[in-house]
Each structure stands twice: as structure tokens, then as C-alpha cells.
């Protein structure tokens, strides 16, 4: 008997889960639901456009999608267009691979002043995300502060300061290019609560900053002081040592007419000030106290005020609540054991999680492969014991969507858009010109006579 598995989300964890299921279970069929028309989650809507090699992983996803036991339903949002309980009518088991789409907030006064943005919105703006592509971003000031010491902060800093002629050939949105061409931003502060030994940067990402030939990287010596506990953390961990060494080796010279990224450690933001728009951020300087790997920040009462024209909160992501699914408010994830969803201490049968929504917003694309394998192994182990869904045929799902008047995108529709983007890109000397709205999608599909109505 065929087993029917539904996957919610088409990011890396969704595709890797599909790959494992199709390979490990010959009687399994997989249907993938994605709220946007385009697949690949953060690979398309998160990864910075100046890292095109990283997006090449989508070729592997294309191969997975070629399997006849796989189907893609784009432009279908689970929780809005189809509920989890409706999905359970069509699928023996469901994997939630819906990622984390909400930015953590700073939670300080002034955070909502004009000129204050989340990293999520800026990343979405340059990546043509349907929600953020028309972000009303003002780049007329000179100074920006990015709060948070992770790779996303580096991506945002790099895109804001990179020469526009280097960005134009990428798949960055044309709306972003128009604004970046007029940008006056020339000085960025990247600020963290803890020290260089606790920064979440990957060394490779830090090295990408060195590609910016007209940008100087600066950090003052006293920012790099480590207490004994941090020295121990560094001694135990070569990757931390490499990060600290990266900062120690910076030449700290600002050339005439260069742009600059300043790194500031040991500062907690306490307020954003401004009359009608962001003008400065007030930080309190911190010490770190406690045992190695368990150090906490402790305020010193010393205030540091940094004038700026924009501020970007880049302090992490959290998942969205799905109706009927438990949610861990503290961690922003769906509670689970090895991918089996846990509700009130018990396993919630037939529901599984994979990727960021399972373990939190950590790890690169490749990490989601092993993570999905763990989930799929549990699912396949449980499968013979699970209650079976009642409508056991893909045609039933299609009928359901038609009856609800939901226009969905198949994978072959997506390939039409994919080719169109590459073709239009070629005409403009870009890797691809992104299609950003569903209206544009219908128009292109209509013209190509490949449209599902």
C-alpha cells in the first residue's frame, strides 16, 4: 500500500526530508506545500545575492522534484488555505519544515521609529521577498548600526556597502539596486552584547568582508579584551580562536575616502532615540561573568551613545505559530524529540518537524540534511503503526484545492518561471531577474499556456 506524506515548506529541510523519504521508502509519495509561489525558502529569500554559488544547491532540489512520487503545491499556505486537520485527511504523516520567518525584536523604547529595521526585512528587500520587496528603506544618511553578531549582520553590512556595479550582475532585486545606487551609507557599526569569543560569525563569512576593496574593517584593541573564562572557551575551540585572531589582525587604518565597518563588543542596546526618526542608539557597556560557556552579561552602568541614521536589529529568528500545533514560546520552535512533535508531554501522532523550526535558527543549509534524516528515520519507523489517512490519492488533494478555488503552482510551473527569470536576467546582464509577485507569475504562466486555474 502506498504511504502518503505531506511536507509543509520548501526550504532545505523540506527538500532534504523529501529526498530521504523517496530514497528510503519506495511505497511513499510526497506532496510539498509552500506558501509562496517559489520554492527553496531561505536559499532564495535569505542567502545574500553576492553568494551565487550557495544557491546552486537548488539544482539538487530540482533533481528531487523530478521524482514522479513527488509533487509541489506552491502558493498554498498551510493554516490558511488548508489546515493541519484537513491535511491529515490526505496524508498518513506530515513533516513541518516551515522554518523561522519572524525576527526577534530588541524590545527597547524607540525600536519602531522610522529608520529602524529588522535584518529580516532588509534581507527580504534585496532578495525580492513578496512581503518586503517594496520596503520603505531610507539610505540617505551616512551611519548605520547593526545590532547582533551573526552571519546575517555581515550579509546586511556587505550588501549595504558593496559597490553597486558588483551587485548589478547578481539576482538582487532591481528595486534594491535603485536605492543602493543613491545610498549615502559609508559607516556601519556592528555591535554585540558579548565579546569576540562569543560572536556567532563563521570565519568564511568574516573573510567575505575582505572582498570589499573600498571598505576598511576596524576594531579598537580594548574591544578585544578577554576574561579568563573567554580565554578558556577560545583555547578549547579552534574556530573561536580563528575569529578572535581575525579581529586581532585587522590593520585598523581608515584610508581616505574609504567606507568602514566598526566592530563593537560588550554593549547592550537600551534605547533608540530620535525626533521623528532614528538619530542615536544608547548602549550600556557590559562585563561577562560566570563559568566558561555559561557566561552572562552584567551591566556596568557606563553608557555609550552612538549617533546613526538607521538601525538594524539582527538578533535572530523565531517560528510562527501554526493552529493546532504546540509552540515553545521561549525558544520560538515546535517542541519535539528527534523530530516527533511533543504536545503536553506526549507524542503528537503523525506530525513531525525538520530544520530550523525543529532546532532553532542555527546551522547552514547542509546541516539540515542530517537533521532531516533524523526526522525521516523516526517517521518511517512509526509509519506501520500510524492511523492511515482516508483520502489516499493525489487527485483528491487537487480536487480539494480546486473546490476551494486555490490556484496553486506545480513544479513545472515553477520551472517556467525559473527559465523566464534566467532569460530576462541575461537580457539585463544579470544571473537572473527575479519575478517578485504572484500577479507577474500568473501573467507569465498565462502566456506560456502552462497555467493551472
* Cα–Cα dist 16/362, whole Å: 17
The reply on whether position 356 binds ligand FAD by CB under 6 A is yes
For residue 72, give the nearest of 116, 24, 38 by alpha carbon. 38
Assign 232 to helix, strand or coil.
helix
Q: Which residue is nearest to ligand FAD (CB)?
A: 11
Neighbours of 373 (CB within 10 A): 17
Name the residue nearer to ligand FAD (CB basis): 132 or 420. Answer: 132
Q: Measure the CA–CA gap between 271 and 367, rounded to whole angstroms.
A: 36
| Interface map 296-335 toward ligand FAD (x if CB under 6 A) | ----------------------------------------
**Residue 287 in contact with residue 228, Cβ under 8 Å?**
no
Task: Output the smallest distance, CB 322 to ligand FAD, in A.
Answer: 6
Cβ–Cβ < 8 Å for 130, 143? no
For residue 51, state whether it binds ligand FAD (rule: CB under 6 A).
Answer: yes
∠ CA(118), CA(120), CA(126), 5° rounding? 110
CB of 375 to ligand FAD, least distance (A): 11
Q: Is 365 in the site for ligand FAD (CB under 6 A)?
A: yes
Residues 20-49 that bind ligand FAD (CB under 6 A): 33-36, 41-43, 46-47
Number of residues near ligand FAD (by CB under 6 A):
34
CB of 250 to ligand FAD, least distance (A): 23
For the segment 94-113, give every residue that binds ligand FAD (CB under 6 A).
Answer: 97-99, 101
Q: Is 133 in the site for ligand FAD (CB under 6 A)?
A: no
For ligand FAD, the binding residues in 56-85 under the rule CB under 6 A are 77-79
> Containing H/E element for 32?
strand 28-34
Handedness of CA 43, 44, 50, 54 (dihedral sign): positive
CA distances from 208 to 159, 162, 201, 366 (A): 11, 11, 11, 19
Instruction: Pick the closer one to ligand FAD by CB: 61 or 283.
Output: 61
248 to 307, contacts with ligand FAD by CB under 6 A?
Answer: none
Distance of closest approach, residue 153 Cβ to ligand FAD, in angstroms? 10
d(CA 100, CA 333): 8
Q: Which lies closer to ligand FAD via its Cβ, residue 9 or residue 274?
A: 9
> What are phi and psi for residue 172, nearest 5 degrees?
-60, 150
Q: Residue 214 phi/psi, 5° resolution? A: -105, 20
CB of 273 to ligand FAD, least distance (A): 28
Residues engaged in binding ligand FAD (CB under 6 A):
8-14, 33-36, 41-43, 46-47, 51, 54, 77-79, 97-99, 101, 123, 152, 155, 355-356, 363-365, 368
Amino acid at each position: 500500500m502506498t504511504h502518503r506524506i505531506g511536507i509543509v515548506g520548501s526550504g532545505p529541510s523540506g527538500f532534504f526530508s523529501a529526498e530521504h523519504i523517496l530514497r528510503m521508502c519506495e511505497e511513499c509519495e510526497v506532496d510539498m506545500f509552500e506558501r509562496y509561489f517559489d520554492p527553496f525558502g531561505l536559499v532564495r529569500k535569505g542567502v545574500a545575492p553576492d553568494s551565487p554559488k550557495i544557491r546552486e544547491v537548488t539544482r539538487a532540489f530540482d533533481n528531487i522534484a523530478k521524482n514522479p512520487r513527488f509533487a509541489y503545491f506552491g502558493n498554498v499556505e498551510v493554516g490558511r488555505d488548508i489546515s493541519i486537520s484537513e491535511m491529515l485527511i490526505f496524508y498518513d504523516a506530515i513533516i513541518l519544515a516551515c522554518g523561522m520567518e519572524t525576527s526577534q525584536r530588541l524590545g527597547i523604547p524607540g525600536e519602531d521609529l522610522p529608520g529602524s529595521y529588522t535584518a529580516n526585512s532588509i534581507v527580504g528587500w534585496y532578495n525580492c521577498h513578496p512581503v518586503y520587496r517594496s520596503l520603505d528603506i531610507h539610505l540617505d544618511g551616512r551611519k548605520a548600526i547593526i545590532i547582533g553578531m551573526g552571519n546575517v549582520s555581515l550579509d546586511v553590512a556587505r550588501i549595504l556597502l558593496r559597490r553597486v556595479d558588483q551587485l548589478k550582475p547578481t539576482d538582487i532585486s532591481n528595486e534594491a539596486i535603485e536605492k543602493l545606487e543613491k545610498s549615502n551609507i559609508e559607516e556601519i557599526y556592528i555591535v554585540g552584547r558579548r565579546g569576540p569569543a562569543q560572536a556567532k560569525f563563521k570565519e568564511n563569512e568574516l573573510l567575505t568582508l575582505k572582498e570589499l576593496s573600498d571598505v576598511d574593517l576596524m576594531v579598537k584593541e580594548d574591544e578585544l579584551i578577554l576574561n579568563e573564562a573567554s580565554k578558556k572557551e577560545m583555547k578549547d575551540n579552534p574556530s573561536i580562536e580563528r575569529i578572535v585572531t581575525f579581529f586581532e589582525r585587522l590593520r585598523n587604518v581608515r584610508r581616505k575616502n574609504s567606507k568602514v565597518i566598526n566592530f563593537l563588543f560588550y554593549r547592550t542596546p537600551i534605547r533608540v532615540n530620535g525626533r521623528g526618526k532614528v538619530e542615536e542608539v544608547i548602549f550600556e557597556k557590559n562585563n561577562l561573568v560566570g563559568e566558561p560557556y555559561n557566561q552572562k552579561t552584567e551591566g556596568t552602568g557606563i553608557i555609550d551613545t552612538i549617533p546613526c541614521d538607521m538601525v538594524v536589529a539582527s538578533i535572530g529568528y523565531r517560528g510562527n505559530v501554526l493552529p493546532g500545533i504546540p509552540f515553545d514560546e521561549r525558544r520560538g520552535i515546535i517542541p519535539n524529540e528527534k523530530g516527533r512533535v511533543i504536545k503536553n508531554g506526549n507524542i503528537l501522532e503523525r506530525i513531525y518537524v525538520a530544520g530550523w523550526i525543529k532546532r532553532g535558527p542555527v546551522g547552514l543549509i547542509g546541516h539540515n540534511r542530517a537533521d532531516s534524516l533524523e526526522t525521516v528515520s523516526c517517521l518511517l519507523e512509526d509509519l506501520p503503526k500510524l492511523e492511515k489517512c482516508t483520502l489516499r490519492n493525489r487527485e483528491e488533494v487537487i480536487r480539494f484545492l480546486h473546490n476551494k478555488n486555490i490556484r496553486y503552482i506545480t513544479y513545472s510551473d515553477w520551472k517556467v518561471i525559473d527559465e523566464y527569470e534566467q532569460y530576462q536576467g541575461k537580457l539585463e546582464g544579470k544571473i537572473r531577474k527575479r519575478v517578485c509577485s504572484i500577479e507577474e507569475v500568473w501573467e507569465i504562466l498565462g502566456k506560456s499556456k502552462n497555467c493551472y486555474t
